[in-house]
Amino acid sequence: MTVSETAVPRRWIAVFDLDGTLTRRDTLVLFLMSFLRRHPWRLIGLWRLPFALFGFVVRNHDRGVLKSRVIRMVMGGATRTVIDTCADSFVDALKLRHRFRPAALAMLEAHSAAGDHLVLLSASPDLYVPRIGRSLGFERTLCTEIEWRADRLDGALKTANRRGAEKLRCLAWLRSQYPELPIVAYGNSAADLEHMRHADRALLVNGNAAARALAAKWGIPTSNWI
User: How do residues 19-50 score in pLDDT, each as one tens digit?
Assistant: 999 999 999 999 999 999 999 999 998 888 88
Cβ atoms of residues 17 and 107 within 8 Å: no
Q: Which domains, and CATH codes, for the chain? A: 13-223 (3.40.50.1000)
Distance CA 104, CA 98 (A): 12
> What does pLDDT average to over the chain?
92
Cβ atoms of residues 72 and 3 within 8 Å: no
Q: For the sheet containing 13-16, what is the strand order? A: 140-144, 117-125, 13-16, 183-187, 201-205, 222-223
β-strands 152-157, 146-149: how paired?
A: antiparallel
Render pLDDT for 110-132 as a digit per residue (tens, 0 to 9).
999 999 999 999 999 999 999 99
